[in-house]
Chain A
Amino acid sequence: SQQGEEDPQALSIQEGENATMNCSYKTSINNLQWYRQNSGRGLVHLILIRSNEREKHSGRLRVTLDTSKKSSSLLITASRAADTASYFCATDAYLASKLTFGTGTRLQVTL
């Protein structure tokens, strides 16, 4: 079963704008990760945030985590056409490497 629900399901923005996508999950977690999937390809890891962290940055990516609300957000700043992809959050529980993925957000960045 899917652990996370992502919102919005689809997002269309213009190049240079920021993109924000949200993830909600149901059970306690150890870590939350974000992955990107380009059409017809496998998933690529973007960033990991631990349950005791609230915010993390990596390049143009900013992730926040609110464990009290069981939610996370991924912000991509100054988006580029190459950011067009599906984005998935994935959670794992303490002492378990099994990842449970959300339903994904499809991001379209137009020129």
Chain B
Amino acid sequence: EAGVAQSPRYKIIEKRQSVAFWCNPISGHATLYWYQQILGQGPKLLIQFQNNGVVDDSQLPKDRFSAERLKGVDSTLKIQPAKLEDSAVYLCASSPAGGNIQYFGAGTRLSVL
């Protein structure tokens, strides 16, 4: 069974630039999550999708972050414009509908200079 795929693995940008991350969840998983993990901390949930609908985006900085999951499968997370404090690893995870266990991708490490 293929795991959660994320790309790119690394991205370096300057502040005020835009960046996008892509995630392809495990086939058949209805729920998709995006997390932000700052160095030395645990992951913080940014947004949760159930199929193509948003379940929770309470911690997403909506003035600069956006995410979509148009066909209920893969998803993109965008930051526009980026700030220095956005430097972090962005993790995507998925789970079956109603499942408790989440399966994580390897993440995208973003450095904002």
Spell out A's residues near B (CB within 8 Å): 2, 4, 31, 33, 35, 40-45, 48, 88, 90, 92, 97-104
B75: Cβ under 8 A from any A Cβ:
no
Q: Chain A's nearest CB lies how many Å from the CB of B96?
A: 10
Task: Please list the residues of chain B having a beta carbon within 8 angstroms of any beta carbon in chain A.
Answer: 4, 31, 33, 41-45, 48, 55-56, 91, 93, 95, 98-107, 109
Asked if B41 and A99 sit within 8 Å, CB to CB, the answer is no
Contact B104 A43 (CB under 8 A): yes
| A98 touching B48, Cβ below 8 Å | yes
Q: Is A42 within 8 A of B91, CB to CB?
A: yes
Once bound together, how far apart are the Cα atoms of A48 and B106, in whole Å? 21
Contact status A103-B42, CB under 8 Å: yes
Whole-angstrom distance between the Cβ of A51 and the nearest chain B Cβ: 12
**Which of A35, A48, A100, A103 makes the CB contact (< 8 A) with B41?**
A103
| Docked complex Cα distance between A33 and B42 (Å) | 13
State whether A2 and B101 are in contact (beta carbons under 8 Å apart), knowing that A42-B106, A97-B48, A97-B95 are contacts in the complex.
no
Taking the closest CB of chain A, its distance from the CB of B34, in whole angstroms, is 12
Q: Are A101 and B42 in contact (CB under 8 A)?
A: yes
A42-B91, A42-B106 known; A97-B4 Cβ under 8 A? no
Which of chain B's residues has its CB closest to A45's CB? B101
- Are B104 and A97 interface neighbours, CB within 8 A? no
| Pairwise interchain contact A97-B98, C-beta atoms closer than 8 A | yes
Question: Which 8 pairs of residues, A with B, have the shortest CB-CB distance?
Answer: A101-B42, A42-B104, A43-B104, A45-B101, A42-B106, A101-B43, A88-B42, A42-B105
User: What would be 15 A-B contacts, judged by CB atoms less than 8 Å apart?
Assistant: A2-B44, A35-B104, A42-B105, A43-B43, A43-B93, A48-B101, A88-B42, A97-B31, A97-B95, A97-B98, A97-B99, A98-B45, A98-B55, A99-B45, A102-B42
Given contacts A42-B104, A42-B107, A43-B91, A101 and B44 within 8 Å (CB-CB):
yes
Q: Smallest CB-CB separation from B106: which chain A residue?
A: A42
Complex CA distance for A55 and B106, rounded to whole angstroms: 30
